[in-house]
Structure 1
Amino acid sequence: MTGEQQDWDIVSGVGITALSVAAARAVDTSRADGLIRDPFAAAFVEAASPPRPIPTRADDIPADDHTWGPLSRLLALRSKFFDDYFFSATAAGLRQVVILAAGLDCRAFRLDWPSGTTVYEIDQPRVLEFKDQVLAGLGARPASARRLVPVDLRDDWVTALRGAGFDSARPTAWLAEGLLPYLPDEAITRLIDAIHELSGPGSTVGIEHFDNAQAVFDDPKVAEGADDRGIDTGALFAGGSKKSPDEYLSSLGWRTTTESIFELSDRYERPLGGVESQLFGGRYITGTLGR
């Protein structure tokens, strides 16, 4: 579908969602009690010059805001959970990492990777190009071997990943963070099938999933926040997914665990602010393929 696909840039479509997630990481980084430290996140927002302002510091969020504050805390919890997931994977000896729809994720730079680790980042060419331009301007150096795979996940990303040096004979730590809400059920099945086929025994996977993704983006609070930032949720998330990835992974022989955002909030002792929203309906799944 190369001729039909849209190649999003950083201030439209999927690009602006990646920018908003980076801004949320910047907000948490600015907090004294922040869960994560991403010294690059704010620079992405500044370099992009989005058409509508996006806060990058907690002090920039208005006192009467009911979306961006809770959203930034939710995304910080999510980031911390998957940071810890990678720490556990590398502690178990895995040295090959694949981040699907990597966006402006800077884990290759900001996490302490063991020697010999290679991180593959898959995403739209223009998003990765923007990302590298900003990081180069900051003089950032990755803490691991880092290989970019500029390809649309709707195309033959498996061949592109192999072409970048990926070795399916080695156990791999996979991450699908903030990706599944974009995908209909059949695409989720294909994605998990591809991960399974490329994974040797001992591989792990981390996934964020919403049982009813469409309900998230129909939520008035979410829609209001998206409108404020020029995000067309109807175009990006049409359809949504009802497939349960943990059940499907289990059927393929993966051992899975699942936690809610509220369980993460309790674990990390970071309250979500008491705001009710469909955004808090996410499930955070990890799986290991038996040896």
Structure 2
Amino acid sequence: MSNLDEVDNFTNDSAMMIAFERSLESKRPDSLFRDPLASSLAGTKGAKLSENFEAMCAVFEFPEWPEFHKQWTAVRTRFIDDRIEEHAPSFTQLVNLGAGMDTRPHRMTAYRLFTNGSYEVDMEVVQKGKVKIFSDLVSVPTAHCEVKNIDLDFLDADKSLATELGGCGFDASAPSLFISEGLIMYLGAAGKVKLLADLSAAAACGSVLVLQYMDASRSKNNGEEARANALSEEEARKELGERGWGDFKFYAYGDEALNFGRFPNEKFGPSAAFSFCVCKKTS
């Protein structure tokens, strides 16, 4: 792959780690999903980053479970897949915030229902990396809807999500399905509030948000940095509720609906550090 070294230099390494872990899941006979592009998108860093994450077992209170993050990647991917399958019939457009190396438009037939497209939003350097890898692949499955890549630094105070979407054909009057996977925990205290404000301003009434986040409020390892990057259930209800969202449903890794048989409940209780909020724009 001629462009691989250049792609490996982009800053958002976590996108490659997650792609690598999706590739591992795809090879299992009992896989929760199949992602034929994941191994290519993992670059040369994905495997090493995943291996090094095993050192975080104690930090996330999963002692003696080195596979915890690989299983979390599989579980969170399947959970989002299921929410897309569930809600796709109600929407004509999807917005993927912090899209990273996601390949859902190419592997999920539910995307055929997004007749106004899938808007993949991320930093320019990440988008360029993904495009370069795709350009080197011999064969890429045709996307099931139009994919519109939007370059946006979510911390840029001079740009808004609504404006960037509007410049690419997004219908601001139509309710949309919003997905945010592995993003908000990297934005810091001010950045996470800005993200929730920006997506709320772009979301018409009736929109649905699937938000993956980290909740440090119930962890023993909840230092100042962890609290700044995390989002508690209480914060989510407050920040989103004030911006017109309701019908909240919360899930923690290990709950029955966020498990898929991959969480050792006999050893660990559900972990709020790996959580989802699903809600609807009601006003």
- TM-score when scaled to structure 1? 0.76
- Distance of 1:43 and 1:163 partners within structure 2: 31
- Distance of 2:69 and 2:191 partners within structure 1: 26
| Shift in CA distance, 122/275, structure 1 to aligned 2, threshold 3 Å | farther
| Shift in CA distance, 70/153, structure 1 to aligned 2, threshold 3 Å | same
Provide, for residues 148-178 of structure 1, a one-character-per-residue CA deviation record: whole Å limited to 9, x for no partner.
0022112214222221222211111111111
- Distance of 1:167 and 1:185 partners within structure 2: 30
Report the counterpart of residue 198 of structure 2 in structure 1: 194
Question: Which of these residues, 221, 236, 240, is aligned with residue 249 of structure 1?
Answer: 240
Report the counterpart of residue 6 of structure 1 in structure 2: none
Superposition pairs of residues 108-119 of structure 1, within 5 angstroms = 108-112=105-109, 113-115=111-113, 116-119=115-118
Question: Which of these residues, 23, 28, 43, is aligned with residue 26 of structure 1?
Answer: 23
Question: Which of these residues, 247, 250, 259, is aligned with residue 258 of structure 1?
Answer: 250
Provide, for residues 174-232 of structure 1, a one-character-per-residue CA deviation record: whole Å limited to 9, x for no partner.
1111111112232222211222221112100011122228969889xxxxxxxxxxxxx
- Distance of 1:139 and 1:281 partners within structure 2: 38
Question: How many residues were matched structurally?
Answer: 256
Q: Is contact 2:216–2:227 with CA below 8 Å preserved after alignment?
A: no
Q: Give unmatched runs, 5+ long, in structure 1.
A: 1-8, 57-64, 220-233
| Shift in CA distance, 87/188, structure 1 to aligned 2, threshold 3 Å | same
Quick check: 1:146 aligned with 2:147?
Answer: yes
Aligned partner of residue 32 in structure 1, secondary structure = coil
Q: Is contact 1:77–1:265 with CA below 8 Å preserved after alignment?
A: no
Aligned partner of residue 175 in structure 2, secondary structure = coil
More deviation, 18-27/259-268: 259-268
- TM-score when scaled to structure 2? 0.78
Quick check: 1:94 aligned with 2:91?
Answer: yes
| Shift in CA distance, 266/171, structure 1 to aligned 2, threshold 3 Å | closer
Amino acid at match of 1:121: E
Q: Give unmatched runs, 5+ long, in structure 2.
A: 1-5, 52-62
Provide, for residues 67-86 of structure 1, a one-character-per-residue CA deviation record: whole Å limited to 9, x for no partner.
65221111111011111111
Identity across matched positions, percent: 20
Question: Which of these residues, 80, 83, 99, is aligned with residue 81 of structure 2?
Answer: 83
Quick check: 1:128 aligned with 2:127?
Answer: yes
Report the counterpart of residue 45 of structure 2 in structure 1: 50
Question: Which of these residues, 198, 210, 214, is aligned with residue 214 of structure 2?
Answer: 210
